[in-house]
Structure 1
Amino acid sequence: MDQGTETRTLNWRVEGMDCASCAAKIRTALERMPGVSEVAITHTTEKLSLKLAEGGAAPEAIEKQISQLGYAARPFTGAAPTAPRHDHAEGEHDHDHDHDHDHGAVGHVHGEEPGDRDKAWWQTRKGQLVIGTGALYLLAWAAKLALPDISYWAFVIATLIGVAPIALRAFQAARAGSPFTIEMLMTIAATGALVIGAAEEAALVVFLFAVGEVLEGAAAAQARASIKALGELVPKTALIEENGATRQVEASALRIGQTVLVRPGDRIPADGIVVSGTSGVDQSPVTGESVPVTRTEGDEVFAGSINTQAALRIRVEKAAADNTISRIVKLVEEAHEARAPTERFIDRFSRWYMPAIVGVAILVTLVPPLVGLGDWWTWLYRGLTLLLIGCPCALVISVPASIASALAAGARQGLLLKGGIVIETVAKTRTVAFDKTGTLTRGEPRVTDVVALAGSQDEVLRLAAAVEAGSSHPLAQAIVAHATSLGLNIPPGRDETAMAGKGVSANVEGAEIFVGATREEASLPEALRLEAEGKTVSAVKRNGTIIGLVALRDEPREDAPSTIGALRAMNVKSVMLTGDNARTGAAIAGALDMDYRAELMPQDKVSAIKALGEGVMMVGDGINDAPALAAAATGIAMGSGTDVALETADGALLRSRLTDVVNMIGLSRATMSNIGQNITVALGLKAVFLVTSVLGITGLWIAILADTGATVLVTANALRLLGWKGK
């Protein structure tokens, strides 16, 4: 496309897609239309985004093309869809989101009218096709019993009426660039069966195919329901307070800085800070915590949480598009776009598999009669049977069905994984590298000791607080909080300068004050003693001379020991990466019985990750962890961490519980095991019935029943993951 051509981005919600092949079929068709580029679509989120050049196809023509393929397209009325993203810079992080979805157009064309999602199965077009074909088949059988002379034609009519919509969609898909579809095979097989006089089997095949369509649609609906349930956690309306009065507004219209009133029993409409009131807040819909937590003035609350006791007034801190629930939904939707290597392999495999099956079916039909091994009608029947049994529906759906179920199960338990590629990588984890502060520890350090080497303790603490007053680092905030609690007068600092991994300096009362780690401090007996106790020691220097030490301690999380033990039981090693000195690192790591690397700058953590070899998961929460999160095979951010960490990471522990690291690995391993089972079932049944079909042991209706049965078995097995629960 000419770079000078003006383009616009258009978005639709496409209903009726049951598998990745459906999305591939639409993509193939739309990419052939004039002016259309960068088509991004995923069947789970039902969102389509594309760029349309000026003078290209009309939006109405695009919708008509989608409709002709058997789907329903509605303009997307919300914000731009979040699922498809093609703007990853090359090398942004190690896990390439593969958007090359030229699947070879394998699979189904599924019809669904607008609004079908809200109807019972028998009210949908698919359901009506099942009822219609089933009724026709029964009527034909009734005719066979009552009027045997016309029964053959009754089965012919039942077949033709039932296969007509399937043949129409097969023809439309072929015109749009997808000739190898199950609809095309169904049409050929049903027509061929009528030609050789197998009308009863043809009618039954059409009916069983329709049943399989309904079952596959139900499986797709299950995956979508998890995302829909997340989005519905946030209430639709909110009570906003203005000038002493309240009025009801749309929650999506709330602006940062507004104050909302949340009554007992109401869901909190936005992420915010409590400005008045004290109440128990049930955060289980968001974080999974089973016990309500007390929230009072100054505390943070999440959209979707439930106020259980007393009225709260909350200042909105994040717009609707940026609140916790929206971020979770965005992560889950993006996850469905990041396909696992196994899934990509299956897609590549299916590109040549379908044409190969068609070729084999033709050979089975032609070669044996030509060499005198039987009559033409017998081998034509077996060739048609081979066409149906060779359809890779179960194989194609085996991986995405398991991935979708795992993502949904994980999201409900606060485990966010950005796609199948992450699940597959997490399952191969052999070493977990933990950041210390805020990850292995609570991230709430407290000042334990102030040692004055010159002047008084108050003077040392006062100057240290002056330097740290402008920092958001947990250690800095702890020093400022301690000085404030003692009522010390903290002077203003000027010309603050931060030195990553070393400390902060500022001009305070005409002197250059530095707070951080120094070589001189490391040799002081007082510092050695404090560090041996597992405390972090910062030196306070005035004009280059150490005047005192400030020691802080950040206690390990309560679940840290059990997490390390559980990982060891899974044959997964644990290592702590910290910028603290070796003595402090040794004290913390020794208490947790794990390995450690200390005195690491942010770039040193990257080197440490690479030195640990393959299969490394990095768990962190801070901005300085972002490089290590990107360098690891899998980067996992704590839910309480920074936005930078969450964006860089491949997943997140929403509940900020270390035990969820164990659960994440467990879920990923269970998913890969489930995928292995599905592929075995899909290929195993194909192998058995391919042989029996060629030998003439099984016929047409057994072939389609086996194909439908394999799809049902694979789907049902994948849905078992929805019930997976962590420890």
Structure 2
Amino acid sequence: MREQAGTTIEWRIGGMDCGSCAAKVRGAVERLPGAGMVEVTLMSERLRVDLDATRTPPAVVEDAVRALGYTISQPVEPGASGPDGSPGADAAQPSARWYSGAKGRLVIGTGLLLAGATLARFLLPWDIAYWGFVLATLAGIIPVARRAFAMLRAGMPFTIEMLMSIAAVGALVIGAPEEAAVVVFLFAVGELLEGVAADRARHGIRALGRLVPRSALLKDGDALREIPAADLRIGQQVLVRPGARVPADGVVVEGISGVDESPVTGESIPSTKQPGAAIFAGSVNTEAVLVVEVTKAPADNTIARIIRLVEEAESARAPTERFIDRFSRIYMPAVVGFALLVALVPTLGFGQDWGTWIYRALALLLIGCPCALVISVPASIASALTAGTRSGLLLKGGAVIEAAARTRRVAFDKTGTLTMGRPEVSDVVALAGEESDLLALAAAVEQGSSHPLGLAIIARTEADGVAIPPASDARAIPGMGAVAVVHGAEITVGSPRHAAEIGAAGPDIDARVEALEAEGKTVVVVLREGRALGLVALRDGLRGDAAAGVSRLADMGIRSVMLTGDNARAAGSMAGMLGIDHRAGLLPEDKVAAIREMAARDPVMMVGDGINDAPALAAAHLGVAMGSGTDVALEVADAAVLRNRVGDVAAMIALARAAMRNIRQNVAIALGLKGIFLVTTVFGFTGLWLAVLADTGATVLVTANALRLLLFRPDRDEPPRKARPPQAPLSVCAKTG
């Protein structure tokens, strides 16, 4: 890699087992000259640094991390892909056996020495057994002390390694080698258990990396040849046999088959794919041969982007996590100060026995370690992110989870969110001339449009076999429609409101528009040079789970409202079917104003398609994009619902609430155990080895509790409330405010 000022460099870090490990790496690197933004992700084991290499070469960063006792890889470019197209080759590597690492070997070594010393205690003179316990203590504490002094040099004196070193050496000094050896052994076991738990939590991300096959069958003319999936290029065609996984994001060009997309979206029912249908890397072809044209580079396929989003989400720390981090920085020095008082006040002030009170002070140092408290939040967040990903719910970090849990009102866009987003032409009303001519003019204006209404008009025109004339000077009228020159005349396809504003509508047109809109249809007016030629009405059906999804939100105590640019009558008809409030006739800026008005009263989530609704998504406390893995759905909003289910919005909030409950439980476990053992240690009821069990036990309990979230199924695990909140009328049109 070429080193230059301001370069962002990534490394893979090995040996990080908890949030405090990530904090140590972050703290050591942040202190280096020329280090800008430093991000450490525990689950993906990544270190990303904005580094001025003219002040601190990358080798210095690597030495600083190794000094802390962690492994570090050679730097790689940000977002570099592994052989499977996932970001980083290590993402798909299998887990190592627990006994093959340094921590496993340390547990085995200290355990054998402790067992030998214990046996000597009963068979040999005490002097020999004494030195056996000393040897077991030193063998276990030297690696810990080495890390402690490395962190001291990095400006972090209050670490568990330093407290452990002081406690073990202090126990030897006051003549308690047996307890010192037991404490060191239990500490090594605790670190090993933390590593096993962290590795279990990382398994979900590794499993995602393994979904994309390593090879692909490339169509080369009439021949097939097997190539690495990472070598695929956009525009190439691959053959996917029944039972095989799709090697790249693409579009089907030949064949019809059922495809299991559950690895990507969580949807268990196979989806039928035919020519023109989009298909995801990692999904499984279940029935017949498909030929797929690659549309995304391997490093940018849906699986790779999901992994990147999970990694980035870990860096977006939750407000609770930041508070715990700040609290622990104050808490550690306070515990050390309290331990000093316990050692000095009874002995110097009241003439008590030095050995007794120093022993109790050493135990307090171990109990006061904040490992369990520090890991309480990130462990829950990481588990929630993984559980969400399995269910097709992407949340970009702990801050998003907290915002989702606080949500009290959800604002839905209509088209493509509550509806299928595939409207169809239901009525063509020609005021002059033939219906086919009216359709042809409307389709000419909409050529090149990506708007669902325009696509529906073009589809109906083509289905009727009507030729679409060429158009020129096409442009959009934001929030109103589109205009183009066809056969030398300016043709406009616009809303009834636009027609009324330019004086092109009359009583007869208004009556027909009103009748069509009362049926829940969307109406556009076709104009030539400002004169109405006719009407085109379109209907977009509700999503199959829209009513159930909105009902579940109400059961959870959350009010829903529909925001749409559609007319008030059509919007009212659809809102009535769902039983929710609505605001109609909204331009993009009107939606932003509506969101801000609601956000002033309640935490608001906005759910939209991620493109036209981007301003409203940004204005809400939380923006959620619908869409099966589109770029906008994954990158613009704070969260994304991959399965295009309205019910998944409630599932996302249920998951967030479960995560916050889990966090509160973890904090209670961590602080509760420490509080109990602080009191019992001061009064002499518990000693060093129980102190280590209290610290290690709390960390293991917190981690295990967080891992319970991996079993959470957000579509079924949220208990409904017994009563729904009252829905105050909120049915307004933009024209009336």
Output the TM-score relative to the length of structure 2: 0.91
Q: Which secondary structure does the structure 1 equivalent of 2:307 belong to?
A: helix
In structure 2, the CA distance between the partners of 1:504 and 1:622, relative to structure 1 (3 Å rule), is farther
Confirm whether residue 538 of structure 1 aligns to residue 537 of structure 2.
Answer: no
CA distance in 2, matches of 1:688, 1:117: 40
Task: Name which of 624, 649, 653 aligns with 2:637.
Answer: 649
Give the superposition deviation at 1:666: 0.7
3-state secondary structure, aligned to 1:610: helix
Residue 10 of structure 1: CA displacement? Answer: 2.7
Q: 2:240 aligns with which of 262, 279, 288?
A: 262
User: CA, structure 1 residues 114+451, in 2 after alignment: closer, same or farther (shift >3 Å)?
Assistant: closer
Whether the 8 Å contact between 1:417 and 1:650 is mirrored in structure 2 is: yes
Structural mapping, 1:300-379, within 5 Å:
300-372=278-350, 374-379=352-357
Confirm or deny that 1:621 pairs with 2:609.
yes
Q: Which moved more, 1:173-182 or 1:531-540?
A: 173-182
Find the counterpart in structure 1 of residue 31 from structure 2. 32
Amino acid at match of 1:446: E
Kindly provide the amino acid, as one letter, of the partner of residue 722 in structure 1: L
2:625 to 632, 637, 641: 637
Q: Quick one: distance in 1 between partners of 2:610 and 2:567?
A: 18
SS at match of 1:75: coil
Which among 558, 565, 568 is matched to residue 551 of structure 2? 565
Q: Deviations over 1:329-375 (max 9, x none)?
A: 12111111111111010001011111111111111111111221622
Letter in 2 for 1:436: K
In the aligned structure 2, how far is the partner of 1:513 from the partner of 1:600?
A: 24
> 8 Å contact 1:514–1:540 — kept in the other structure?
yes
Aligned residue for 1:581?
A: 567
How far, CA to CA, are the matches of 2:658 and 2:8 in structure 1? 39
Please state how far the C-alpha of 1:454 moved relative to its aligned partner: 1.8
Deviation at 1:27, TM superposition (A): 2.5
Amino acid at match of 1:137: L
In structure 1, what is the equivalent of residue 73 of structure 2? Answer: 74
Amino acid of the residue matched to residue 212 of structure 1? Answer: G
Residues 517 and 641 (structure 1), Cα distance of their counterparts in 2 relative to 1, 3 Å cut = farther
Name which of 658, 678, 685 aligns with 1:690. Answer: 678
1:404-451 CA deviation, whole Å, 9 max, x = no partner? 111111101111100111111101110111110000000110000011
Matched-pair contact (CA < 8 Å) for 1:434–1:618: yes
Question: Is the counterpart of residue 511 in structure 1 residue 489 in structure 2?
Answer: yes
For 1:594, the equivalent position in structure 2 comes to: 580
Equivalent residue letter for 1:59: P
Counterparts of 2:630 and 2:568, CA distance in 1: 26
SS for the counterpart of 2:188 is helix
Report deviation, 1:457: 1.4
Which SS does the other structure have where 2:465 is aligned?
Answer: coil
Equivalenced residue count is 694
> Which residue number corresponds to residue 185 of structure 2?
207
Aligned partners of 2:91, 2:333: CA distance in 1, in Å? Answer: 33
- Cα distance in 1 for partners of 2:293, 2:330 equals 58
Percentage of identical aligned residues: 60
Matched residue, 1:88: none
More deviation in 664-673 or 317-326? 317-326
- Partner of residue 149, structure 1: 126
Residue 122 of structure 1 pairs with residue 121 of structure 2: no
SS at match of 2:239: strand
Counterpart of 2:656? 668
Mapped partners of 2:459, 2:673: distance in 1: 67
Seen in structure 2, the aligned counterparts of structure 1 residues 5 and 231 have a Cα distance that, compared at 3 Å, is closer
Distance 2:587 2:219 in 1: 47
How much does 1:164 deviate? 1.1
| TM-score computed with the length of structure 1 as normaliser | 0.93
Name the residue aligned to 2:539: 553
Q: Secondary structure at the match of 1:683?
A: helix
SS, match of residue 421 in structure 2: coil
Corresponding residue of 1:416: 394
Distance 1:114 1:305 in 2: 18
Match 1:448 to one of 426, 443, 465:
426
Does residue 425 (structure 1) correspond to residue 400 (structure 2)? The answer is no
1:640 to partner: Cα distance: 3.3
TM-superposition CA deviations, 1:624-673 (whole Å, max 9, x none)? 11111111111111123753353221111111111111111111111101
- What per-residue deviation string (whole Å, max 9, x for no partner) do you get for residues 537-585 of structure 1? 0011111011111000000011011111111111110110100011111
Distance 1:117 1:547, change over 3 A: closer
What is the one-letter code of the residue matched to 1:689? F
State the match for 1:89 in structure 2. Answer: none
Q: How does 1:185-334 map to 2 (within 5 A)?
A: 185-334=163-312
What's the offset of the Cα at 1:50? 2.2
* Native 8 Å contact 1:72 1:114 kept in 2: no
Preserved contact between residue 275 and residue 297 of structure 1 (Cα < 8 Å): yes
CA contact (8 A) 1:343 1:400 kept: yes
Residue 322 of structure 1 deviates from its aligned partner by 2.0
Match of 1:15? 14
Q: CA RMSD in A?
A: 2.0
1:115 to partner: Cα distance: 13
Distance 2:708 2:168 in 1: 34
471-480 or 617-626, which deviates more: 617-626
Change (3 A) 1:6 1:339: closer
Q: Mark the runs of 5 or more structure 2 residues left unpaired by the alignment.
A: 82-89, 717-737
Contact kept? 1:20, 1:42, Cα under 8 Å = no
Match of 1:437 in 2: 415
CA distance, structure 2, for counterparts of residue 503 and residue 51 of structure 1: 46
* Matched-pair contact (CA < 8 Å) for 1:116–1:123: no
* Offset of residue 301 of structure 1: 1.0
Most deviating of 640-649 and 267-276: 640-649
Secondary structure in 2 matching 1:546: strand
Indicate conservation of the 8 Å contact 1:621/1:641, yes or no: no
Contact persistence 2:91–2:205 (CA under 8 A): no
Q: Distance in 2 between matches of 1:445 and 1:117?
A: 47
Paired residue type of 1:147 = L
**2:610–2:617 contact (8 Å) kept in structure 1:** no
How far residue 75 of structure 1 moved from its aligned partner, in angstroms, is: 1.6
- 1:490 aligned residue: 468
- Could you tell me whether the CA contact under 8 Å between 2:4 and 2:54 is conserved in 1? no
Corresponding residue SS for 1:580: coil
> Is the CA contact (8 Å cut-off) linking 1:620 and 1:645 kept in structure 2?
no
Q: Decide whether aligned partners of structure 1 residues 312 and 642 sit closer, same or farther in structure 2, where only a CA change above 3 A counts.
A: closer
**What is the SS of the residue equivalent to 1:336?**
helix
Contact 1:236 1:250 in 2 (8 A): yes
Task: Provide closer, same or farther for how the CA distance between residues 8 and 522 of structure 1 changes in structure 2, counting only shifts above 3 A.
Answer: farther
Distance 2:144 2:630 in 1: 51
Q: Which residue of 1 aligns with 2:110?
A: 133
Judge conservation of contact 1:626–1:645 (CA < 8 Å) in 2.
no
CA offsets 1:466-512 (integer angstroms, 9 cap, x no match): 10111011110000000111111110111011011110000011111
Match of 1:467? 445
TM superposition shift of 1:709: 0.9
Q: For the residues of structure 1 that align with 2:493 and 2:92, how far apart are their CA atoms?
A: 63
Match of 1:649, SS?
coil
Helix, strand or coil: the match of 2:276? coil
Residues 86-105 of structure 1 aligned to structure 2 (within 5 Å)? none
Instruction: Compute the displacement of 1:175 (Å).
Output: 1.2
Instruction: Judge conservation of contact 1:281–1:305 (CA < 8 Å) in 2.
Output: yes
Residue of structure 2 in register with 1:179 after alignment: 157
**8 Å CA contact 1:539, 1:550 repeated in 2:** yes
Question: Partner letter of residue 24 of structure 1?
Answer: A
CA deviation after TM superposition for structure 1 residue 54, in Å? 4.5
After superposition, the Cα gap between the structure-2 partners of 1:128 and 1:686, relative to the gap in structure 1 and judged at 3 Å, is same
**Distance across 2 between alignment mates of 1:286 and 1:115:** 16
